[in-house]
Amino acid sequence: MLLRQTNSDFDVFIIGAGPAGTAAAISLREIIPDIRVCIADGGKTAAFRIGESVPPPIQPFLDQLGVMSAFAQAEHSPSFRTLNAWGSARLESNEFLLHVHQTGWRLNRAHFDAMLKTEAMRRGAIFVPARVTALTGNAHDWRIECSNAEKFSTRYIVDASGGAAIAARKLKFTPRKLDRLIACAVFFAGRARQSSTIDANAPLIEACQHGWWYTAAIPDNKRVVMLMTDTDIARRLGIARMPTWLRHLSLTDHIQACTGMASPLTQPLVFPASSRYFADIYPFGIVPAGDAVSRFDPLSSQGIVKALRSALYASYAIADHHLKGDTMGFFKYFTLMRDEFEHYATTWQTYYRQEQRWPDAPFWQRRHGMKPS
């Protein structure tokens, strides 16, 4: 079977140049050097990108992609622990020393994403600076339309469009959602007040009545501080307004101590963060990866590692079909994504059940299974 003979513009068209999209492009070009890969992304580079804490298990994925030396050249800050006040007001430390790979990272997220994109293009992926607006067709003959009016044909599509999950939306799939979590984040300039007892740069989580707070020092002498809560609770409290946000910050023990004298650079910025998964069956040739297939709670700090992992597995499935006509890779991939989310959902609930200090608060009741989300 001459699977590789085709008249399409590209073999693989990747929607989105976040970690999942660029990692898929790098891996595909490493496995099959002559495979024709295109990545389209029309997103503007946001001044403040969210998602910066990565745990030590990121290292094998960076090694596998062959980008470890490019990663080491950027100014990411090493991280040796996370701190959390969860289940009690006492701050506990989770030391990375006990991990096989002992160092996690607080990323300069814009640099990290740009590095992966550069590496993908260096390996021969073509970049189209436009948003995908339409996709039509069927197995082996997909048509893509972009916001700059360009049209492309392709054999495979990787949907790596993150929360937009454009393929799932165009196909009218309904996600399985665990919650309605959002982040209200404020970026600060300046370092934390240093303390002799805690590592004030480490990612820190503190549970509160309406959800939980997170802060971490990030490169360029900045700090991100965010309250994670549910959409309706945020609206009811008016948490997206700076004075209200600051008043709630002042009720925390550890987060406000860490934030110290840093001064706000932004108003509260709202990001969707609900845990969700698209369980429907995709048409042949469309493979979602990263947040487009499933989104995990930022509590897990797994989003970027999961994006790289799913992108690698998606690229293996496509390569198996492209080279050998083997469809088993797709079956294994979707089974893995489903099992991964099921496992995650159990862990997610177990973890939220460890916090029992606010039994009457809707945020916690929902996660303890006492009230529907």
Radius of gyration of the CA atoms of the chain, in A:
21
Other residues' Cβ atoms within 10 Å of the Cβ of residue 243: 7
131 makes contact with ligand FAD (CB under 6 A): yes
53 makes contact with ligand FAD (CB under 6 A): yes
Map the footprint of ligand FAD across residues 54-83, applying CB under 6 A: 54
43 makes contact with ligand FAD (CB under 6 A): yes
Map the footprint of ligand FAD across residues 10-29, applying CB under 6 A: 15-21
Of 291, 320, 340, 355, the one binding ligand FAD (CB under 6 A) is 291
Q: How far is the CB of 9 from ligand FAD (least distance, A)?
A: 16
Q: 71 Cβ partners below 8 Å, 6+ apart?
A: 62, 112, 115
User: Which residue's CB is nearer to ligand FAD, number 61 or number 330?
Assistant: 61
Of 25, 35, 51, 362, the one binding ligand FAD (CB under 6 A) is 51
255 makes contact with ligand FAD (CB under 6 A): no
Q: How far is the CB of 71 from ligand FAD (least distance, A)?
A: 14
Based on the number of CB atoms within 10 Å of its own CB, is 230 exposed (0-12), middle (13-18) or buried (19 or more)?
A: buried
Of 211, 288, 290, 362, the one binding ligand FAD (CB under 6 A) is 290
36 near 10, Cβ under 8 Å? yes
211 makes contact with ligand FAD (CB under 6 A): no
User: Which residue's CB is nearer to ligand FAD, number 125 or number 160?
Assistant: 160
Q: 28 Cβ partners below 8 Å, 6+ apart?
A: 12, 35, 37, 125, 315, 318, 319
Tokens of 344: 């995650």
What letter represents residue 5's amino acid?
Answer: Q
Candidates 217, 199, 207, 210; CA nearest to 253 is: 207
* Span near ligand FAD by CB under 6 A; candidates 158-166, 276-284, 312-320, 356-364: 158-166
Angle CA(192)–CA(195)–CA(197) in degrees, nearest 5?
A: 135
User: Which residue's CB is nearer to ligand FAD, number 41 or number 355?
Assistant: 41
What's the number of CA atoms in the CB half-sphere (13 Å) around residue 7?
1
User: Which residue's CB is nearer to ligand FAD, number 47 or number 261?
Assistant: 47
310 near 289, Cβ under 8 Å? yes
User: Which residue's CB is nearer to ligand FAD, number 17 or number 192?
Assistant: 17
User: Which residue's CB is nearer to ligand FAD, number 77 or number 326?
Assistant: 77
C-alpha dihedral (110, 116, 117, 121), degrees to nearest 10 = 160
> Rounded to an integer, what distance in angstroms lies between the CA atom of residue 13 and that of residue 156?
6
Query: With contacts defined by CB under 6 A, how many residues of the chain interact with ligand FAD?
Result: 36
- Contact residues toward ligand FAD (CB under 6 A) are 15-21, 40-43, 50-54, 131-132, 160-164, 166, 183, 271, 273, 290-292, 298, 301-304, 307
